[in-house]
Amino acid sequence: MSQTRLLLIYTGGTIGMIQEKPDAELKPFDLNSILAQVPEIASFGYRLDAHTFAKPIDSSNVQPATWSELASVIASKYESYDGFVVLHGSDTMAYSASALSFMLKNLAKPVIFTGSQLPIGHIRTDAKENLLTSIEIAAAQLKGKARVPEVCVYFDYHLYRGNRAIKYNSEKFEAFHSPNYPLLAEAGIRIKYNDNDILPQPSAPFQAALTLDNRVGSLKLFPGLRPSYIRALLSDTDMEVLVLEGFGSGNGPTNPWFLTALSDFINAGKVVVDITQCHGGSVDLGKYETGILLRKIGVTSGHDMTFECCITKSMHLLAAGLSGNALANALENAVCGELNGDS
């Protein structure tokens, strides 16, 4: 059998940080230094190549251009490798994994995002396990094909669908959750794959969509929102999609000024997509009067999409040229396992 080939892509983040002096700030160091910290990688026997961003960045500085660069690297190397591991800061990892899940169409190979809460050189680091298991998952095959042909996040023994993951904790090693979708795999003495929950191998050829359109905004509802605030937000003429974080199952206030402001925005050919502020559960705009009124004025249901997923999916669909009703319909329907549309 030919040797398994994997590409390790280093964008930056805590996993590749060092502390030059006690109490000094963390700074990125190069990928070769990371690999030197984990000599166990050689035991796999895989061929492991590396691509390092010219200037590794803190994930708080990630932009849509970062996702375009990542997608471009993977697309250009797609035929040469069996899987990809992306080392990335955890703060915006869920955004990046969600974006790549839409940009890498008909993906037949694993793209595993991972990172760490502590630098790889730290005595108690979680980086080594995250890196080693991500590499093993990226190489895993079943009946001669990739075991996990999708974009994922691996952290603290758990493998999540990338567009279903959220970062929920800034201190625990278990930094991520997937509130509305089961784990794809769990690592213990062995790696247990939940094959029924993993996307099937695609029937169409791989394609990459390398552009995004960031004419997206968001509004998290809270009691006491001022009309002037809403009107100022919606006066942004460039904004094409408003991600509305509603209460509970997607509910919002029934004040006439609020409904009128949203209605005017929608009637101008723009889209309001409603997701829930709750970490678990889904939007149901037919359950309560407060949700029914939103549906009546044309608000789109985001079902159980995460905020990170809804934002990046909107950017992807806008870049594909969708607008108005076509965009709203596309947001309500699953593209790559990002939502359950039963509600």
Give the catalytic positions in this structure: 14
Q: What is the DSSP string of 190-223?
A: SEEE-GGGSPPPPSSPPEE-------EEEEE--T
61: nearest Cα among 53, 51, 50: 53
Q: How many helices and strands (H and E) does the chain possess?
A: 9, 20
The backbone torsions φ and ψ at residue 29, rounded to the nearest 5 degrees and listed phi first, read -130, 175
* H helices present in the chain, as ranges: 31-37, 64-77, 93-103, 127-139, 227-234, 256-267, 289-296, 307-319, 324-332
3-state secondary structure of 153: strand
Copy the structure tokens of residue 239: 């904004």
263: nearest Cα among 299, 216, 289, 236: 299
Copy the structure tokens of residue 192: 């247990």
248: nearest Cα among 218, 217, 308, 288: 288
Q: Report the distance separating Cα 134 and Cα 128, nearest Å.
A: 10
86: nearest Cα among 13, 172, 24: 13
Q: Report the distance separating Cα 58 and Cα 27, nearest Å.
A: 9
13: nearest Cα among 222, 248, 225, 175: 175
151: nearest Cα among 230, 229, 251, 70: 70
